[in-house]
Amino acid sequence: MSGMAAPESGGTRDTEQWLCAGLGLTRQEGLDAEAVAKGVPWLLATLAESPSLPPPALLWDLGRLVAGQPLAHALPVPDTLPRLRAAVRAYDDHVLARLAADPHLEAVSAALARLPEELRPRGMAFLANRILARIGFTEGRSVNTGLARRTLERPPAELLQAGYVALREPGPGLERLAEAYEALARGARRAHALLGDAEAFTLENLEHLQGKAQRLALEQAVEAAEALSRALPPRMRARAVTSAPTPTALEDDAAFPQGGFSSVSNVGSLENLVTSELVYMEDEPTLDLFDVRYVEGELLYYTRDESVAVRRRRVVTFVLPAGFAEARVKDAGVRWQRAVVALGLVLCLVRRLSVWLGEEDLRFQVVFIWDRPGPGPLDAERGLCELLLREWRARGIAEVLTLPDLGTVLAQATESSRRARIDVVRIDAARESLSQTPAVDPRVSLRSLDLSAACPRVDAPREGPASPEESRVSERSSEPDAPWEAWTGVTLELARSLL
C-alpha cells in the first residue's frame, strides 16, 4: 500500500464530498443507517493502516461479501457523472464478480468470523489492503485522519443522505472517485488472483501476531509457499518402501477408527448386548425368557474388531542452525528474502507431504539450534515458524524445538530410526558449517539446503571439508543467474527426496 499515497487536491469540502459520495456508491440494495454504521470502523481501521484510502464503498461491499450476503450487481448506479457510472459498472464486473466467485472467499470469511469482535475492523482493513496490493492499486486518496473521523462521526442517516446529494454535485471529488474505480477495474483485470492462501492464513493468526512486522513476514512466507507450490505437480509417486509397517497406537491417531462392531456372537459383556434382546424381559417378578436365554448362553452380543492399525512411521526434521540468520538478504529476481522463502519452502513441503503421505504415520519437526541461555539469533524466525505450522501443531503432527547442536539432532534421529524412517533437512547459509557434516547413521537420510549464495542448492552429506576444486565448482554453480528458478528447482528436488 506504500504506492497508494497521492497528494490531496482540493480542500476540506472536496474530501467530504469524496467520502460521502463514495459511501453512496455502495452496491447494496436498501442501504440503511445500520449498514452504514457497521462499516465506519472498517474504514477508520483502513485509514489507520495506510494514509490513503480506496473508494469508501469498497469496504462495505467487501464486508457484505465476506458475511455471505449477496451484492446487488444489477442495482442501478445513483445519478452522477457518466464517467463515474461507467467506472462503477466496470468495478461490478471485474472486482465484485471476481471476488464473489473466488475459491478462497469461503476460507477468508470463516477466518474473519472466528476473530474476536474487537479485531474484525483490523481484519477487514488488512483484507482490503491485501486486495489493493494484489491488483496494484495506486489511485488512493490521502485523507486527513481527523477530518475523516469528524465526517464519519455524523449520524449514519445524515451521512448517507449527504452522499446521495454529493453524487449530483460535479466537482473534483467525483472525478477522483471515477479515476479510482477505473483503476480498481483495470488492476483486477490484470491480476492473477484477488485472494489467496496468504489472506486466509494471516486472518486465522491475526490475534496471535505481534506487530505489523511479524504480520508482513507471515504474509510473505505464505506467499512464497504458494509460489513454490505451483512448481510442484499435484501428485508425486513415493519411493519404494524398504521398511516394514509399524503398529500405530490407537490413542495417537483418531483418524483410523479401530475396534468397531464387526459381528454378532453368543459371548460378550452386557454393554455390548444387542438391544433387541431386551424384548424378552417381562415386568412380572417370575422367571422370564430373558433370564432363560441368559442362563443358557443364547443372548446375542455385538463383537468388536480389535485389530491393530499398522502404518509406516515417517519423521521429517528441518534443522535451522544459527547461520540461517545470514539468509536475511534479498536477491535480484526474488520478491522475498532468502530466509522468508526458506520458511515458505518448509510450509510448502509440510502441506504437500501431508497430502502425498496421508496414509502414513507422519510427523514434522522444525529444530532451531541454540546452546546458550537467553534469546537466540533466530527467535523471530522461530515465532514465525510456530505461526506457520499452527494448524499441524494443533493436530499433534508438527512441533518446533530448540536443541543445542546438530549432533544432538542426529543422535535423536538415529534413536528414532529403529521405529521410523527419518529424513533430516539442514537449512543453512553459513558456508563454514555447511562444509563439514558429522557422521550420520546409514538409516538416517540427511540433506543440506545451501542458502549461502543467491541460487540455493541441495547437497548430499559429505564428511570432512570440501577440497579447493570442489569449492571453486560450488561457487561457480552458485552464480545468481536465475535465483527464483533455482528455488523452484530445489523445492522439487527436496520433495522427490522426501517421498
Residue 450 counted as domain residue = yes
Q: Are residues 300 and 316 in the same domain?
A: no
Q: Is residue 219 part of a domain?
A: no
Q: How far is CA 200 from CA 40, 224, 349, in A?
A: 23, 15, 19
Over residues 304-329, the pLDDT tens digits come to: 655 555 678 899 999 999 999 999 99
If one counts every other C-beta atom within 10 angstroms of the C-beta of residue 239, the result is: 11
**Residues 156 and 278 occupy one common structural domain:** no
Amino acid at the residue 312:
R
Determine the structural domain holding residue 265 and report its residue range.
Answer: 259-304
Convert the pLDDT of each residue in 136-185 to its tens digit: 888 888 888 888 888 888 888 888 888 888 888 877 878 888 899 999 99
pLDDT tens-digit map of 234-248: 887 766 655 545 555
Place of cell 475396534: 259
Same domain assignment for residues 463 and 329: yes
Q: Are 149 and 155 in contact (CB under 8 A)?
A: no
Residues 494 and 350 in one domain: yes
- Would you say residue 254 lies in a domain? no
What is the rounded distance in angstroms from the CA atom of residue 138 to the CA atom of residue 2? Answer: 9
Instruction: Work out the angle between the directed axes of helices 105-114 and 120-135 (0-180°, nearest 10).
Output: 150
pLDDT for the residue numbered 33: 80
Domain assignment present for 179? yes
98 falls within a domain: yes
Taking every pair of C-alpha atoms in the chain, what is the biggest distance, in angstroms? 100
Residue where the block lists cell 553459513: 430
Q: Are residues 290 and 336 in the same domain?
A: no
Strands 52-53 and 141-142: what pairing? Answer: antiparallel
| E runs forming strands in 360-420 | 361-369, 398-403
Averaged over 255-268, what is the pLDDT? 66
Instruction: Specify whether 323 is located in the same domain as 192.
Output: no
As a whole number of angstroms, the distance between CA 349 and CA 492 comes to 10
Is the domain of 70 the same as that of 37? yes
Spatial distance between the Cα atoms of 382 and 379, rounded to a whole number of angstroms: 5
Q: Are residues 268 and 337 in the same domain?
A: no
Q: pLDDT digit string (tens) for 94-134?
A: 999 899 888 889 988 988 888 888 889 888 988 998 899 88
What is residue 305's predicted lDDT score, i.e. its pLDDT? 59
Considering the entire predicted model, what is its pTM? 0.68
Q: In whole angstroms, give the CA distance from residue 37 to residue 316.
A: 50
Half-sphere exposure (CA, 13 Å, Cβ side) for 171? 19
- pLDDT higher than threshold 80 for residue 429: yes
Q: Which band of pLDDT confidence, cut at 50, 70 and 90, is reported for residue 254?
A: very low
**418 occurs within a structural domain:** yes
Structural domain count of the chain? 3
Would you say residue 215 lies in a domain? no
Instruction: Among 267, 286, 304, identify where a domain stops.
Output: 304
Mean pLDDT for the stretch of residues 365-393: 89
Provide the pLDDT for residue 2.
39
Measured N-to-C along each axis, helices 211-229 and 483-498 cross at an angle, to the nearest 10 degrees, of: 70
pLDDT band per the 50, 70, 90 thresholds, residue 10? very low
Residue at a domain's end among 245, 273, 304: 304
Burial of 143 (0-12, 13-18, 19+ CB in 10 A): buried
pLDDT band (50, 70, 90) for residue 11: low
Mean pLDDT across 186-193 = 90
Q: What are phi and psi of 376, to 5 degrees?
A: -105, 170
- Write down which residue in 178, 208, 238 finishes a domain: 208
- 109: Cβ contacts below 8 Å, ≥ 6 apart: 65, 66, 67, 68
Q: What pLDDT is stored for residue 434 in this prediction?
A: 74
Average confidence score pLDDT of the chain? 82
Q: Which three cell numbers stand for residue 41?
A: 470502523
